[in-house]
Amino acid sequence: MTKSSPDQAADAARELLSKIEDVVSTIKNDVENLSSVAEAAQTNLDDFSGSAELLCREIVDALQLAPDPVHLATVEAIDNLLALLREAKEYLQIDQSLATLGTLQLFDNHADDLRAATRLTVMAQRRLK
């Protein structure tokens, strides 16, 4: 038996309504899934942002710290002493005794710098106590 046009239209409307409900249900599920993913992403983004901000503050703080001049002078004196000892050793190995003596005299001057830096470091430590 053939359905009448109004019956066919009603069946088509029911089928269309069923498909619309399926699509709505699927979209709701997708939105809920996106919502939980979006929340997780937001949480991760907040954590990342907080970590980046903390790191930036630490970098700025480190850059604002004034270098300790005694520390810098001590390191420089040690570097100079090491370089002069290597130079004196090279002169000795090629029998350049005058050059060796001159280099060792410079070494003695830089050793005075290191002794002064050591005294300043000791004084600073005493002040901290």
Top-confidence residue, 73 or 115: 115
Cβ atoms of 67 and 100 closer than 8 Å: no
Write out the DSSP string of 18-30: HHHHHHHHHHHHH
Beta strands in 49-129 (DSSP E): none
Cα–Cα distance measured from residue 38 to residue 89, given in angstroms and rounded to the nearest whole number = 68
Please tell me the predicted confidence (pLDDT) of residue 55: 66
Name the CA dihedral angle for 28, 29, 35, 36, rounded to a multiple of 10 degrees: 160
Looking at residues 92-121, what average pLDDT do you find? 84
Residues 14-44 pLDDT 10s:
676 667 777 666 767 766 676 666 666 566 6
Tell me the average pLDDT across 57-78. 72
Which pLDDT band, with edges at 50, 70 and 90, does 127 fall under? confident
pLDDT digits (tens, 9 = 90+) for 68-101: 777 777 888 888 888 888 888 888 888 888 888 8
Cβ(118)–Cβ(74) below 8 Å:
yes
Is residue 47 within 8 A of residue 63, CB to CB? The reply is no
Q: Which residues contact 84 (CB under 8 A, 6 or more apart)?
A: 103, 104, 106, 107, 110
Residue 66 pLDDT > 70? no
